[in-house]
């Protein structure tokens, strides 16, 4: 900003003392506030033991978990047989059907195996494992009881007591022991997202699937290809699309039914709570305290309470949302009712209308758009919070998420569900915003 002369600044200071000489709180209030906040945060740092917790965190695992969101690992164990052959062994979660030809895991003529990690590779035999790194060969010798890395090996090859760890970066890693090589090979993307290895359609991608639906022989006799594709996709054992979509629907149903039922109950009750509509203090007070009570009992309390009563599923979720939101909506509705324009009611009264008609034609048309828009806000909010309520026991996608996270190896499925939730929330937000702006104009409040 441009500077002004000293004389000018003195003149201004004398002319407007109220601007330049304000109270201490006004002048330094912001600084004091910030300092107090920082002090409080420092207190919380120690109160919550943030330092030690961060230090003890398993940060090496964190990067693996994050990578699992967008990539997948194939984890065969290459067992050394008695007869000098190397045999791959897959866990039950293996991503390949039995006997499939895998382009990065190739058997050698002498019974060994070669494992390709992009430009690098492993040549595995029962006597020696050759590690090809950046075009150089590092032989790891297998003795009885230990695998031994060569001297002057690079940083990527580490001797860990009797085993040797080889790091290929993102492409994967290998753990060489005296009786097996545990390989981890990482690829971008989600494995078997369309069909699991046991499906007759395994190996098809999206385009070949579309081709299969519209032309091509029946893969399974007596069943149309479109039907087969749908069945196999929904029944995918690795990804459980059918189950996940059902659970997602349950969560949406929880939010929808809970909010709508709360609206239907809060609507008549709010008329008793509003002083202008029911000019009797006793029902006003009782109804308002009732709203405060059921609103303030935490949603968690309702959810766990009804889970005990009804067993896991959407019903406790609906009940939890219904109870808290009847209170919250009732309060908001009653406030809206107390702010209505009195002229329309007076007009109705002046022509001798009954009190029901006064409310129906003098009050409801004024408040209905506001009511609907408030309910839509709660619907949006509940669509998000129904996930969490589900996780504490009410079922739905929340519980599914919690199960997937609990195994610590299904982060790709977590990412898939998060993506589904994000899409659904965006769609519902837009629906709700569109309805709201039609009802009360684009200002939308």
Q: Which pair of structure tokens corresponds to residue 197? A: 């290895």
Instruction: Please tell me whether residue 42 binds other proteins under the rule CB under 8 A.
Output: no
Instruction: Please tell me whether residue 372 binds other proteins under the rule CB under 8 A.
Output: no
Give the contacts of 75 (CB within 8 A, at least 6 positions apart).
90, 91, 182, 183, 184, 185
Instruction: Please tell me whether residue 25 binds other proteins under the rule CB under 8 A.
Output: no
Instruction: Please tell me whether residue 374 binds other proteins under the rule CB under 8 A.
Output: yes
Instruction: Please tell me whether residue 337 binds other proteins under the rule CB under 8 A.
Output: no
Q: Which of 28, 61, 93, 237 binds other proteins (CB under 8 A)?
A: 61
Instruction: Please tell me whether residue 59 binds other proteins under the rule CB under 8 A.
Output: yes
Residue 259 · residue 382 · CB < 8 Å: yes
Q: Which of 148, 213, 315, 439 binds other proteins (CB under 8 A)?
A: 315
Question: In a 3-state reduction of DSSP, which class is residue 48?
Answer: coil
Least distance from other proteins to the Cβ atom of residue 6, Å: 18
Residue 16 or 40 with smaller CB distance to other proteins? 40
Residue 247 · residue 395 · CB < 8 Å: yes
Q: Which pair of structure tokens corresponds to residue 303? A: 């959810």
With CA atoms as reference, report the closest residue to 72 among 39, 96, 52, 51: 96
**CA pair distance 148, 38, nearest whole angstrom:** 54
Instruction: Please tell me whether residue 57 binds other proteins under the rule CB under 8 A.
Output: yes
Least distance from other proteins to the Cβ atom of residue 257, Å: 5
Site residues for other proteins, 386-425, by CB under 8 A, read 387-389, 391-392, 395, 398, 401-402, 405, 408, 414, 418, 421-422, 425
Instruction: Please tell me whether residue 265 binds other proteins under the rule CB under 8 A.
Output: no
Angle (CA) 283-287-291 rounded to 5° is 170
Instruction: Please tell me whether residue 273 binds other proteins under the rule CB under 8 A.
Output: no
Instruction: Please tell me whether residue 305 binds other proteins under the rule CB under 8 A.
Output: yes
Least distance from other proteins to the Cβ atom of residue 238, Å: 20
**CA pair distance 283, 68, nearest whole angstrom:** 57
DSSP-assigned letters across all residues of 235-278: T-TTT-HHHHHHHHHHHHHHHHHHHHHHHHHHHHHHHHH-TTTS
Instruction: Please tell me whether residue 357 binds other proteins under the rule CB under 8 A.
Output: yes
List Cα–Cα distances, 157 to 132, 150, 169, in angstroms. 11, 9, 12
Q: Could you tell me which stretch among 199-207, 234-242, 268-276, 312-320 binds other proteins (CB under 8 A)?
A: 312-320
Instruction: Please tell me whether residue 214 binds other proteins under the rule CB under 8 A.
Output: no
Residue 43 or 170 with smaller CB distance to other proteins? 43
Tell me the helices (H) and strands (E) count for the chain, helix number first: 16, 13
In the shown chain, the binding pattern of residues 187 to 206 toward other proteins, with x for contact by CB under 8 A and - for none, equals --------------------
Residue 245 · residue 397 · CB < 8 Å: no
Q: Which of 234, 377, 439, 440 binds other proteins (CB under 8 A)?
A: 377
Instruction: Please tell me whether residue 65 binds other proteins under the rule CB under 8 A.
Output: yes
Site residues for other proteins, 106-145, by CB under 8 A, read none
Residue 10 or 360 with smaller CB distance to other proteins? 360
Question: In a 3-state reduction of DSSP, which class is residue 376?
Answer: helix
């Amino acid at each position: 900003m441009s500077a002004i002369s000293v004389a000018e600044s003195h003149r201004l200071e004398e002319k407007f003392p109220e601007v330049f000489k304000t109270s201490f709180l006004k002048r330094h209030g912001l600084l004091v506030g910030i300092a107090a906040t920082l002090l409080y945060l420092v207190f919380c740092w120690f109160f919550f033991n943030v330092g030690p917790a961060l230090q003890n965190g398993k940060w090496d695992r964190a990067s693996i978990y994050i990578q699992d969101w967008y990539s997948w690992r194939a984890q065969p164990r290459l067992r050394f047989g008695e007869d000098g052959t190397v045999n791959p062994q897959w866990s039950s979660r293996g991503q390949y059907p039995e006997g499939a030809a895998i382009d990065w895991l190739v058997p050698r003529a002498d019974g060994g195996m070669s494992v390709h990690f992009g430009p690098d590779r492993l040549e595995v035999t029962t006597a020696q494992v050759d590690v090809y790194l950046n075009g150089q060969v590092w032989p790891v010798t297998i003795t009885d009881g230990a695998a031994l890395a060569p001297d002057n090996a690079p940083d990527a090859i580490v001797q860990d007591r009797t085993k040797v760890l080889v790091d290929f970066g993102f492409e994967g890693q290998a753990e060489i022991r005296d009786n097996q090589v545990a390989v981890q090979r990482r690829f971008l993307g989600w494995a078997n997202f369309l069909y699991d290895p046991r499906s007759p359609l395994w190996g098809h991608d999206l385009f070949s699937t579309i081709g299969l639906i519209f032309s091509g022989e029946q893969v399974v006799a007596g069943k149309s290809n479109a039907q087969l594709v749908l069945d196999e996709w929904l029944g995918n054992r690795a990804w459980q699309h059918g189950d996940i979509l059902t659970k997602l629907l349950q969560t949406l149903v929880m939010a929808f039914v809970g909010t709508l039922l709360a609206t239907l109950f809060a609507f008549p009750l709010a008329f008793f709570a509003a002083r202008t509509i029911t000019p009797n203090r006793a029902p006003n007070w009782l109804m308002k305290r009732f709203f405060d009570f059921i609103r303030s009992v935490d949603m968690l309390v309702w959810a766990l309470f009804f889970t005990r009563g009804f067993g896991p599923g959407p019903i406790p979720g609906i009940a939890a949302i219904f109870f808290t939101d009847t209170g919250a909506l009732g309060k908001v509705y009653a406030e809206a009712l107390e702010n209505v324009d009195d002229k329309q009611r007076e007009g109705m009264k002046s022509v001798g209308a009954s009190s029901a008609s006064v409310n129906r034609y003098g009050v409801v048309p004024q408040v209905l758009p506001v009511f609907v828009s408030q309910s839509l806000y709660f619907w949006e909010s509940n669509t998000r919070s129904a996930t969490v309520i589900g996780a504490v026991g009410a079922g739905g996608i929340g519980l599914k998420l919690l199960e997937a996270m609990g195994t610590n190896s299904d982060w790709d499925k977590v990412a898939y569900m998060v993506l589904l939730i994000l899409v659904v929330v965006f769609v519902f937000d837009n629906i709700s915003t569109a309805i709201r702006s039609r009802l009360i104009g684009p200002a939308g409040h």
